[in-house]
Structures are given as C-alpha cells and as structure tokens.
Amino acid sequence: MSDDKSRDFEVVNRSVPRRDGRAKVSGRALYVSDVKLAGMAYAKVLRSPYAHATIVSMDTSRAEAHPGVYNVLRGDDLEGLNPYFGHAVKDHPLVAIDKVRYAGEPVAAVIAEDELTAYEALELIHVEYEELPAVMEPQESLAADAPLLHQRQFEAGALRGFEGEVTAGRGTNLCQEHHIKWGDVDEAFANAAAVAEGEYYFPMAYAYAMEPYVAIAEVGDDGVTIYSSAQHPFMVRHDLKTIFDMPVSQIRLIVPFVGGGYGSKSYTKIEPLASACAWKARRPVKLQLSVEEAMLTTRGDDALTWMRTAVDADGKIIARQAKIYMNTGAYAENSPLVCEKSSNRCVGPYAIPNVQIDNHMVYTNTVPASSFRGFGCAQVTMAGESQIDELAAKIGMDPYEFRLHNAARPKQEFFPGMRPFDGTLTEDLKIVAENIGWKEPLPSGHGRSIGCSASDAGAYPLTSTAVRVHADGSASLMIGSTELGQGSHTVLPQIAAEELGIPFDLVRVVSSDTAITPYDRSTGASRTTTLMGRAVQEASQEAKEQMVRMAADVLGVEESEIESVRGGITCGEARLNWSEVLTRYYKLPDGEVIGRAYIRKDKDFAQLPVFWEAASTGIEVSVDEETGKVTMEKLGTCGDVGLAINPALAEGQDIGAATTGMGIGMFEELEFDRNQLLNGNLLEYRLPRFSDMPRTVKLELVQNRDGVGPYGAKGGGEASLNSLPANIANAVYAATGARIRRAPLTPEKVWRAIRETRAARGENES
Amino acid sequence: MELRFELNGRDVAVECEPQQTLSEVLRNRLNLTGAKISCEVQVCGACTVLVDGLPVSSCTYLAYEAQGRTVTTIEGLEDRDRTLHPIQQCFIDEFAFQCGFCTPGMILSVKALLDDNPDPTDDEIIHHMDGNLCRCTGYVSILKAIRKAAAVMKEGRE
C-alpha cells in the first residue's frame, strides 16, 4: 500500500492519553485475578520437591475426604483428555505423569470451596518418589551418560513458528539445534588483522509480570471457557482444542487487562491445568498462582556463548563464529524458536561476510524456559556487543566509531535471504552518543558505553480484524491482540480514527475474546502496531469503500462520482458524513458496516522478518571500587520505530525495556543450589527499584517511516533491553579496566574482577 | 469476629477471621479489587492502602488491626462528582503506568507522601517510593507525575 508521506496526521503520531487511563488509576480496570464466577471453586497445586524423580505412588484419599474439598486432580486419572501440550513440542503434561522433571513441577491439584481449604488439603496428600539423578546445566545434560528427561519421540507442532524439524526426543537431552553458515570463517580468522574471543554468560532471569499467572476455567455442554492472563489466547485455544479434542469453536479464551507479560505469558501456561480441574470438578475453577509459583512456571533461557569476531586491517568486521548452549529447563515451551532467533541475532546489526553459528537448546531439570522480552537477542547480544568493545580496544579504535564503521546500512541485505535492513543504525548511534555526551571528559571512576542491536522481529504474520462503523458515526474495533500495558488499546483506535476521519473518542476497542474477536496469532515480538495496526488501517479503508458504494446507491450516482473525504464523502455539492451515509442507506438511524482485513505472509509481509527491530542504547556508570557497586548515572535510548503512532507510548516501551536490561545486567538472576531454586521469591530476587534509575534519562525516536506497518511504523519495546547487559559490562570496563563476561555484574563480581585486574597488572591493593 | 472501620468515608462492619489479611477482607468480602496482590512479602507495594493516612501492605496487614481505624483504598480517591484526584490525573497525563497492576498501590503511596510532605525533593520522593515496584515504566514517568501532582496540589491550596 502506498502512503502519501507528506500527509498531515490528525490523530496518529500524537501522544494522546491512554484509553485505559481512567480505569487503571481508579482501581476499576479488570484483571483475571479480580474475576469471580457463580459457583466458582478454587484450585491449589502440590509441587514436586525433587528435580528429577519417578512418582512411585500417590495417596490422595485424606485430601479428598477433607471437608470442603471437591476433588483432587492427579496425573494417573486423566482418562478422556490428551494431557500433553506444547505448540512446538508436545512434551508438557498438564500435571506430572509418572515422573517429575524439575523441583516445583505440579504433581496434583486440590479443588475446594475456598483457597484456604485447598491449601490445607495439599498437606494431606502423600506422594512417594524415587529420586533420579538430575542434570542442571546444558553441557552436563549432553554428556553421554546423562539421565534422559524425555523418553518419548516428539513431532514438531504445526504452530511452532519456524520451518524445519525439532530435535527433541531422539534419545538425548538436546531439545533443539540450529546452525547458520555463510562464507568461510576458518579462512577469514586465519587472515584477520585482529581477533577477539571469549565465553559469555547471560543468566536465568524472571520476567516478573506483577500479576502472577491466573486462569478461571469452566467446562460445560457448550465447550470450554477460560478467563486467562494469556498473551496469545488464540495459541492457547489451539493447545486446548487438542487436550479436549474439541473444535476450536468450542474453546473460548477471554483475556481482560493483563498485569504485565514481557513474553512470560506467551503461549500456554496454566490453562490446561485449570481447565482439567474444572473438567474434573464439573464447576468453574479459579487457579491463581503466587509470585513464588510463577517463578516455578516460566523463566527466560540462560545462555553460555563462546564467540570470536575478526576484523581486517581497515577495521571492518570480516568474520564471526559462535557456539551457544542454551538451557530450556524441563520442557521445550517456546525455546526451539528462541534457539533459532538467538542464532539469527548473533549477526546483526553488522554486515559480516563470514558467519558460523552453532546453537544447542538443551533440556535440564530446571524450571522451564520460554519467551522473555528480548527473546534470544538479549542472550547473544551480551556476547556480541561485549566483543565489539573488546575488538575496538584491540585495534585502538573508539568503540562508537567502530560501530558506525560496521553497522548495517539502510536497505542492506546483511542477513542472506532475509528482509533488507529497514532501519538507520548510524543515525540512532549518533543521537545516543550526543545525548550521553560521548566525547565529553569523565570523572574518575566513571565509564561510558554505547551499543546497538537488530532483531528479526514481528513473529509470523497472521492477523485479522473487523472494524464496525455504526450509524451514529462511531466505531468498534474487534481486536484479538491483548492489552498488556504496551498501549494497543490506545494506538489501534488512533489508527482507526485517522483512517475513518472520526474523533478518537468515538472509537471503542473490543478485545481478546476468541469467540468474538477475529484471529490474531499472538501479542509478542513487538508485532501488534505493525501487524494489527496495518489490519486496522486496511479494515477501516475497506469499511470506507463499502460506505462509498452505499453513498452512490443513496445518491443514485456512479461510484466514480463519489469522492471520499475526511469523515465522509462528497459528490458535487452534496456532502455526507458516515452517519448520514449509513442512516440514508438503511433508512433508519441505526445499523452498521463491517470492514475486514486479513494479513498473511504475502505482499508487504511476504519476506520475513516483518521488520528489523533496531535501537541504540548508551549509558554512563560510576563504580565504587571499594564495594563493587555499579550506579547508572545516565541512560540514552533511541528506538528506530519508523513512525511512532503514539510517541509517549513508544518511549515508554524503550525505557521499560532498558530498565529490565539494566536489572539483568546488574542484579537479576535465578540461582540454583544444586537441584533447588535458591532465590525463588521477591525478597531474594532483586528487581530494579526507583533508586536504581539514572538521574539523567534521554529517550529519542527515529521516525523515517521505513517500516511495513501503518504509515511506515515498525515495532519497538525489546531492542533497548537487548544491548543493556553488554552496555553495563562495557561501561564497567571503561571505568575500571576489569572485563566481566558474565551477567549480572553484581557488586561481588565487580569487586573481585577489579582486584583480579589489579593483581594481573602487578598493582598492590591500596 | 466483627470488624468495624471507616472505609473511604463510610462506616463498614464485616465478619472476618483473626488470621485474615486486610487485602482478603477488601478484595473478597467487600469486593474492592483495586488493591492488587503480587509478591505477598511486603516488597512490591501493589497491595498498598492507607490506614489512618499511612501506607500499609494490605497483603500482610491483619484485618483486625484496622478495627476502629480509617482505611482509604484507590476506590476512595475520586470526588463525589467522579473528578479524579490530582495524583490520578497526573499519572494519566504523564503516562506513569502501562499494565496498571502497580498503579493503585503506587498512587496511594504518593498520596501518603504528599499529604505529609507537600513539596518533596526528588531524593525524598525516591526514598519514599522505593518500596513500590513497577516492571513496565522504568519509574521516570512516575517521578514526573509525582512532581507534577505536588505542584498541582500546592496550587489547589493557594
């Protein structure tokens, strides 16, 4: 679709206040945790104390006899259901069957008249386990004599989101592997002017959606209805269709406001367990997890990356090679796709002629890992952007100049076969460098760094919508995307209001009910503004085309005589707004027209990725050499967003992402003490707080309208996270000379590294 | 036991168990679901309500401790004519939330601060607000909203 770039916008590209503002500041915004249904029971989950064990026997009779308990759900009593789910690999039982694969895995659920009774009854269940040897780390898990987590062979799920097979279930603990190769890395490294090489670690991180997972399920004659905090209700529907062997029309997912997602609510989580409880108890059941249980449900994939990068005598990057071991924990979830994406994201944002990436996603007896903001890119950018600074230091080049020299250029096909680069990284880098005062002198103990990233984003393009224009001139959008806080309930009506030429306040969003709203594959990978935004734009245009035909009909003229103008049509002297067109057409001041749009992998979206998500980030830190404490003093971000439909919301995404990146870079990490999660609560898992924020923050957006979304928009909201952990490592190096290759850079790690660096230089302890 | 207290300007009486928390009484008995439950260990601030004007974590504050006291929840902040409190309006104006789950607790913490200290410095704001977590915004927009609310409320008094 061609857009007139000189057109003046009336509603888009403006920071209109959030549509959900009043509901969210007044406590009236509805989340699933606030929902109660008539006759509703409550489920609580008994979890495995062992990381790997066979379930020898289970006695639930005392729990079942406990007053107020309706039923106990257990893995050996699921006849009539297909109990395994997983959109990529169907390896995940909705409750443990025969064995447990991580400490914290659900082994039974009590369904009772209230939560307290359900809790009490958990203690009355007796389970006898036979402990098996556990494997906690990928390389240990790939050893020839390692205990096998999954004995069955799996077929790749139809909705796995990538081409090719899955590796899971072929007699080893390898869940997935992915390999990329072009050019000849061996020759390039042999002829390099300089090479940087190292091993880097990105930690297990917890997304901390403030609202823990929650689902309310009801199984009745008309199918399964679930209120859920899911990001992708249509994907969950597909898993439940298989579990219950029902047509999709019988599975209804309803998602009201979601209290944070950040990828952690992508795909199916507790909906199978909640709906199995409702099926067993024959009444609606609410399953509300605690934060501590959420930490035992999903985490981000940790990654150990060996990488080397080479430059020629002119400072051009000529080769990169990486071997990556990632840890998906006990189940595949979305990690096979994380494996592919993290491999792809080792390359950008640079144009490199010789590349070889070998990536292994491995099962271990830890909490299952899946999508988390940044999605593979953050993991490998810790390695990639650290290494860029190390290489710049080796050849005596300013790391900022080195990036400018090598960054992918606009329209360059830097990844063979993928969409040519649709961003302007050199512009982004320059803005950030300016905003953090790159060339200015620094106080002692301070260091600066700049970084960038580019991710193949947008996931798979399959999105549809309906725009209903009513006879009073107002409109309703039927939106399958979920409002996680990113602002889709504001951005999408801005687009419809712009296209229909009606006031923003007249557009209402009806969202995220699979029985009502048209199909949208997912809300993730920064895709909603681009894909659903484009669908809303096209559906609004289609509604207008229909109203032009209606106007021709009521005026008794040819369609060609009608001119579509803002908010209505003209024909000679006659001018009708949409309300007048519909009212005259239907001969009543009521009724509607429905505009539709179907986005698929075709035309503008034929080539993946849907867009490159690019950004630059820069920071200044101070380091207390006596304690190792790192303080972020300045933060600059520049999101390469094509066009910001709502600039304040787009900037909000960038700083939110950067703050999580700061957390992972400085203190966030799930730690295991042998087989048990050591810090599985918010007292011990350290999150960014008010006092951690830099006093100087500069957020900018580059808007070159170079995306395929509406008016040239692209997505944002992850890229500012991706480069932040490396930013911190690089800035600490600049401040202290200590190179730390494992995130997070906790005070202890920094303190030790400073001492080791001094010792290596032969300096005395001062 | 019978629990009587003043809730958002009117007297309430409810039956409660001695071990019940204030959030359980508010959310389950009185159907005021504005206070959110997240960490359950007084770290995140999502469940913050005001008791006699001071912020408490209603997830761990026992309901009976509110006996005879004055409790303010997010539902009690609007005027009778539904005009938003200046803090609420400033949170909207400054895009000081995204998912909104931390927002009720965040706003009540700000109210406790500004009622006690109408003209706080940035350091005082940050110190006071350090017990309210937000995973979405990166806090900067919240800081702006608090500064603006302080100015608006000051203007309202003059």
pLDDT of the residue at A154: 83
What 3-state class would DSSP assign to A642? coil
Contact B98 A209 (CB under 8 A): no
- DSSP classification of residue A160: S
* Helix, strand, or coil (residue A742): strand
Peptide bond into A233 cis (omega under 30): no
Q: Do A428 and A444 sit in the same domain of this protein?
A: yes
Residue A765 clears pLDDT 60, i.e. is over it: no
CA distance B19 to chain A (A): 11
For residue A763, pLDDT beyond 80: no
A170 confidence band (pLDDT: 50, 70, 90): confident
> The tokens of B53 are what?
């004007």
Mean pLDDT of chain A, nearest integer: 96
Query: Whole-structure pTM over 0.90, yes or no?
Result: yes
Tokens of A657: 């992402």
pLDDT per residue as tens digits for the range A102-126: 999 999 999 999 999 999 999 999 9
Å between B157 CA and nearest CA of chain A: 23
> Hey, which bits of A349-416 come out as E strands?
354-363, 369-370
Which chain B residues contact residue A681 at CB under 8 A? 39, 41
Do A620 and A662 form a contact (C-beta atoms < 8 A)? no
CATH number of the B86-157 domain: 1.10.150.120
pLDDT value of residue A1 = 40
Mean pLDDT across A384-406:
98
With respect to residue A670, please indicate whether it lies within any of the assigned structural domains.
yes
CB within 8 Å of chain B, chain A residues 186-215: 207-212
Instruction: Give mean pLDDT, residues A337-348.
Output: 95
- Chain A residues near residue B37 by CB distance under 8 angstroms: 33
The reported pLDDT for the residue numbered A60 is: 98
Residue B6 reports pLDDT greater than 50? yes
| Look-up of token digits 């796995």 | A160
Same domain, A521 and A533: yes
| In a domain? residue A427 | yes
- CA dist., res. B140 & res. B97, Å (int): 10
Q: Does residue A169 sit within a domain?
A: no
Tokens of A195: 């090479």
Is A763 inside a domain boundary? Answer: yes
C-alpha span between A308 and A384 (Å, rounded): 9
A78 Cβ contact partners less than 8 Å away, ≥ 6 residues apart: A94, A95, A97, A276
| Cβ–Cβ below 8 Å for A26 and B78 | yes
**A18 interface with B at CB cutoff 8 Å:** yes
Q: Are residues A504 and A454 in the same domain?
A: no
In which domain, by residue range, is A718 found? 398-458+609-766
Please tell me whether residues A646 and A757 are part of one structural domain: yes
Here the tokens at position A11 are: 């509603």
**What are A501-504's contacts with CB under 8 Å, separation 24+?**
A501/A10, A501/A565, A501/A566, A501/A567, A501/A568, A502/A473, A502/A474, A502/A475, A502/A567, A502/A578, A504/A11, A504/A16
End-to-end C-alpha distance for chain B, whole angstroms? 45
List Cα–Cα distances, A545 to A204, A552, A603, in angstroms. 51, 11, 21
The tens digit of pLDDT for each residue in A272-282 reads 999 999 999 99
What's the domain count of chain A?
2
Domain termination residue (choose one: A571, A605, A639): A605
Are A493 and A614 contained in the same domain? no
| Domain CATH for A522 | 3.30.365.10
Looking at the structure, tell me whether residues A599 and A505 fall in a common domain: yes
The 3-state DSSP class for residue B140 equals helix
Q: Which of A579, A595, A567 is nearest to A501 (CA)?
A: A567
A403 and A518 fall within a common domain: no
Tens digits of residue pLDDT in A43-74? 999 999 999 999 999 999 999 999 999 999 99
Say whether the ipTM exceeds 0.85. yes
Query: Looking at A605, A626, A648, which one is the last position of a domain?
Result: A605
Interface membership of B35 toward A (CB under 8 Å): yes
SS3 B111: helix
DSSP secondary structure letters along A244-297:
HT--GGGEEEE--B-S--TTTTSS-SSHHHHHHHHHHHTS-EEEE--HHHHTTT
Report yes or no on A634 lying in a domain: yes
Domain ranges of chain B: 2-76, 86-157
pLDDT band at A4 (very low <50, low <70, confident <90, very high): low
Per-residue pLDDT at A764 exceeds 70 = no
Instruction: Place A748 in a pLDDT band, splitting at 50, 70 and 90.
Output: very high
Report pLDDT for B23: 98
Q: In Å, how far are A346, A685, A694 from A629, measured between CA atoms?
A: 30, 17, 14
- Minimal CA–CA distance to A150: which of A81, A75, A93, A88? A93
Residue-wise pLDDT tens digits, A282-337: 999 999 999 999 999 999 999 999 999 999 999 999 999 999 999 999 999 999 99
Cα end-to-end distance, chain A, whole Å: 66
Same domain, A667 and A754: yes
Q: Determine the pLDDT at residue A2.
A: 41
- Is the distance from CB of A320 to CB of A383 less than 8 angstroms? no
Rounded distance, CA B140 to CA B136, Å? 11
Distance from CA of A259 to the nearest CA of B (A): 5
The verdict on whether omega for the bond into residue A609 sits within 30 degrees of 0, i.e. cis, is yes
Which DSSP state fits A409? P
CB B46 within 8 A of CB B37: yes
| pLDDT score, position B158 | 82
Please tell me whether residues A450 and A591 are part of one structural domain: no
- Residue B143 touches chain A, beta carbons under 8 Å: yes
Same domain (yes/no): A625, A759: yes
Alpha-carbon distance of A625 to A289, in angstroms, equals 41
- Residue where a domain stops, chosen among A554, A589, A605: A605
A527: pLDDT confidence band, cut at 50, 70 and 90? very high
CATH 3.90.1150.10 fits B2-76, yes or no: no
- In the structure encoding, which two tokens stand for residue A540, read together? 């609004």
- Shared domain for A471 and A538, answered yes or no, is yes
Note whether A568 and A580 are within 8 A (CB): yes
Residues A465 and A583 in one domain: yes
